[in-house]
Structure 1
Amino acid sequence: MYNKLKYLFLTVLLAASCSGKDQGEPANPPPPGIVPKDGVFEQRGEGSFVYTGYEPLKDKPITLYYYIPSGGEVERMPVLFSMHGAERDGTIQRNAWKYFAEKYGFVVLAPEYSKTYYTENDYQFGSVCRSSGSDVLNEESQWTYQTVEALFDYFKSETGNTSAAYYLFGHSAGGQFVHRFLLAMPGARVERAVAANPGSWTFPCVEGITGTDGKTYGWPYAVAATPFADAAHLTAFFARKMYVQIGTADTDENDSSLPKDAPSMAQGPHRYARGRNFFAACTTVAGESDMPLRFVLSEVEGVGHSTLWMVYGKASVTNPADTEARGKNSAFNLLFE
């Protein structure tokens, strides 16, 4: 995939050098190919619009922030969805990726799920159940996860993009979203995914997990009492190419945004420990059930709780435009190399 991106980048350069652009040509021309019927993806570079196209949740708008490279054929570009954390700011995700997108020729789609319309249960937990801690399931059409697939179809229909699948990244609460999305949506068209520094995980324990209060918990902390507890769902989940990306310095036990409820605390004292424990549990369950496991544990040395640092794989990024200065376990490398 990395070689493909390099090829696309060279194509962009050749196209730019041979274009003979007139002085009257717009600074940000629309993507080539079909003309977007809604006009929302006409602008190159940074853009945004409010999306209400998923009919079952049309009363819960999503602001989609995006980045389209300044050159190249949008129809042929890979597509990356980047999911925000609990701060609910899609611009953080778009901006963390835009220099990579510009250089290597892929599109960034960063949906923003406002707290006005999406609670923690709706976002981090996908609205799979009526409320956090409830075992009453919502209809699948009401799951927030469905909006990602709908947005992908919308982008393809608007631009003529021919991608059969997309790439998926999420940091913190976004990392919660990503791994639960893959568990709940076995048919989702995801090529590779990175779940970075989630504060809590859904463990593949069909009997649930025991919290620090001695009680047994299911969704969203374990698959117990959900449709995802059967062998078919777990097999499909483990078959995903998902990177459990954790910063070795994400160890602040007093972080105000760290979930401290009983089932989360049972997963470990901080995010770094919780990620390692989740991966170990998946390895154990997959091994005992003879299910192939494609998950990869990727530890980013010296990095704490930061979207930008996980994307670049380094504890300090002095010049985000210098994409070549990234670390070996950067989210970019995990997804595209």
Structure 2
Amino acid sequence: MGALSFLMSAGLLGGGTSAQSADPQEPRREIADINGQSIEVFVYRPPSCVSPSFLFVFHGNGRAARSYAGSAREIADRACLTVFAPLFDEERFPNREYHRGGVVDDGELKPRDEWTTGMVSDLIRWAEDFEGRPGQDIYLFGHSAGGQFLSRVAAYDLPEGVDRVVIANPSTYVLPSMEEKVPYGFSGLPPKAATELTREYLAAPVTIFLGEEDTGDKDLARNDQAERQGENRLDRGERTFELARQVAEQNGWDFNWRLVYAEDVGHSGRGMLQSDYMIEALR
């Protein structure tokens, strides 16, 4: 039984965790060699868990990976999860490379082996080697800019074996649309590949996780593609989910997305990670 399945059956007591208070240790900084690049990864291990699953946490526009790892400690302790929070620094990974997945450059599709999205598979393999525990359940969580990144990962480059992708409060999504160009849709890809990727995207274990109070416009993407998705992050998430449901239904495709709300939470990574609804988002 996976850690989260056990957690749910045990009444949110934690997969193998004790009822004692969390260890006060801070996330530790490690260095991962990912295709010749040194990537800082902040790691937190729940102190009283025998065999934790892996939770990868992708930070927002502020690039505060250490802070995000710290904010994930509560869910890690409750759900028996080792946290890995990689830092995508702005110098090497500007918005086009992080937020939008490094899929296009100046409107042109890049070679697949240059996409930043591919680093997620590499990070998973690094974590398995680092912990010496391959084959663990894998959960991906991204908030804001990290949510934008994971939308591109889920749409174009999802690693095999990922148990759940939680896309929390991003400014933009990849729409299941042949009209919107990559990286906001699937136009620009070879037609056969675009159709197959869209089908796989809608069948992927995706949770759209929305703060009910995330209706402001601070740092909200305002380009033409973003504006077509809705007025604010809450609106854009709801519209994207509904469009995805409709496209899957119209084509007779599997649809494995879920929509989960965090009550009384605005645009806050900490608020989402520490929400009582985080367990539901990961399930």
Query: TM-score, normalized by length of structure 1?
Result: 0.75
Relative contact order (C-alpha < 8 Å, sep 6+): which is higher? Answer: 2
What secondary structure, in the 3-state scheme, does the structure 1 residue paired with 2:27 have? Answer: strand
- Indicate the residue corresponding to 1:234 in structure 2: 198
- Indicate the residue corresponding to 1:155 in structure 2: 127
Q: Structure 2: give runs of 5+ residues left out of the alignment.
A: 8-13
- Indicate the residue corresponding to 2:10 in structure 1: none
Q: Give, in whole Å, the separation in 2 of the partners of 1:103 and 1:300.
A: 18
Aligned match of 2:244 in 275, 282, 305?
282
Aligned match of 1:90 in 65, 74, 88?
65
Q: Give, in whole Å, the separation in 1 of the partners of 2:203 and 2:278.
A: 19
The alpha-carbon deviation at position 332 of structure 1 amounts to 2.8
2:6 equivalent to 1:4: yes
- Indicate the residue corresponding to 1:335 in structure 2: 282
Identity %: 25
- In structure 2, do the counterparts of structure 1 residues 7 and 130 end up closer, same or farther at CA, with 3 Å as the change threshold? closer
- Indicate the residue corresponding to 2:43 in structure 1: 66
2:27 equivalent to 1:46: yes
AA aligned to 2:147 is G
- In structure 2, do the counterparts of structure 1 residues 298 and 71 end up closer, same or farther at CA, with 3 Å as the change threshold? closer
- In structure 2, do the counterparts of structure 1 residues 186 and 116 end up closer, same or farther at CA, with 3 Å as the change threshold? closer
- In structure 2, do the counterparts of structure 1 residues 122 and 188 end up closer, same or farther at CA, with 3 Å as the change threshold? farther
2:85 equivalent to 1:110: yes
The alpha-carbon deviation at position 111 of structure 1 amounts to 0.5
Q: Give, in whole Å, the separation in 2 of the partners of 1:271 and 1:3.
A: 30
Q: Name whichever of 167-176 and 222-231 sits farther off.
A: 222-231
2:105 equivalent to 1:124: no
Superposed, 1:197-276 pairs within 5 Å as 197-208=169-180, 218-227=181-190, 230-253=194-217, 255=218, 257-276=219-238
Query: TM-score, normalized by length of structure 2?
Result: 0.88
Q: Name whichever of 294-303 and 234-243 sits farther off.
A: 294-303
The alpha-carbon deviation at position 3 of structure 1 amounts to 4.6
AA aligned to 1:47 is R
What secondary structure, in the 3-state scheme, does the structure 2 residue paired with 1:120 have? Answer: coil
Q: Is the 8 A contact 1:77 1:163 kept in 2?
A: no
Q: Is the 8 A contact 1:64 1:112 kept in 2?
A: yes
Q: Structure 1: give runs of 5+ residues left out of the alignment.
A: 14-26, 29-43, 209-217, 314-325
Q: Give, in whole Å, the separation in 2 of the partners of 1:198 and 1:279.
A: 13
